[in-house]
């Protein structure tokens, strides 16, 4: 990953997401092979399904939000807002990735992370108050809302770790 510079308000967000992704990737590479078939605390999902979810629209949503900001556009209403069916999006992403190997899913998360870093490095102070929804970009990225990729990764990492602990 190349070294990038960030606007002052973006740097802690980029660091938080980078650090969260690093912890997630370390776990994914070191977890015992049998963890992936274990049920997670997400109803009906195995740990592999959780991983497929993380590699799916989760990363794409973050990119979509940053691209919308950088291009001065609003978010796609089929992905966010009252018309969005996030459960259907999540199911689709998991189904699309069920046949992919662990290495392919990890590579997708790494590729998305590299794109996120690049997009975050293009944000300026002018983007901080850009309104994507009822929230500004800084509110979405900085809080515990859907723009907080690091918190989302950590939440699902905890679910996978819990599945491993339950079995041992």
For residues 9 and 124, the answer to whether their CB atoms sit within 8 Å is no
Question: pLDDT-derived band of residue 58, with 50, 70 and 90 as boundaries?
Answer: low
pTM (2 d.p.): 0.88
φ, ψ (nearest 5 deg) of residue 71:
-95, 0
CATH says 11-167 is which class? mainly alpha
- Position 145 scores a pLDDT of 55
- Position 153 scores a pLDDT of 83
Q: pLDDT of 20-38, one tens digit each?
A: 899 999 999 999 998 899 9
Q: pLDDT of 117-157, one tens digit each?
A: 999 999 999 999 988 877 888 888 876 555 567 778 888 88
Dist CA 90 CA 41 (whole Å): 15
Question: pLDDT-derived band of residue 114, with 50, 70 and 90 as boundaries?
Answer: very high
Q: What are the residue ranges spanned by the domains of the chain?
A: 11-167
């Amino acid at each position: 990953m190349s070294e990038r510079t960030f606007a002052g308000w973006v740097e802690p967000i980029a660091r938080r997401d980078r650090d969260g992704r690093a912890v997630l990737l370390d776990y994914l590479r070191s977890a015992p092979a049998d963890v992936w078939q274990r049920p997670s605390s997400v109803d009906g999902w195995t740990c592999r399904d959780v991983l497929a979810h993380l590699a799916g629209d989760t990363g794409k949503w973050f990119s979509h939000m940053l691209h919308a900001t950088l291009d001065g556009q609003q978010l796609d209403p089929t992905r966010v807002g009252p018309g969005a069916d996030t459960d259907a999006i999540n199911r689709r992403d998991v189904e699309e990735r069920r046949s992919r190997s662990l290495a392919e899913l990890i590579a997708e998360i790494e590729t998305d992370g590299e794109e996120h870093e690049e997009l975050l490095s293009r944000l300026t102070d002018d983007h901080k108050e850009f309104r994507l929804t009822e929230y500004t970009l800084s509110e979405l990225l900085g809080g515990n809302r859907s723009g907080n990729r690091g918190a989302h990764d950590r939440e699902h990492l905890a679910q996978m770790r819990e599945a491993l602990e339950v079995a041992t």
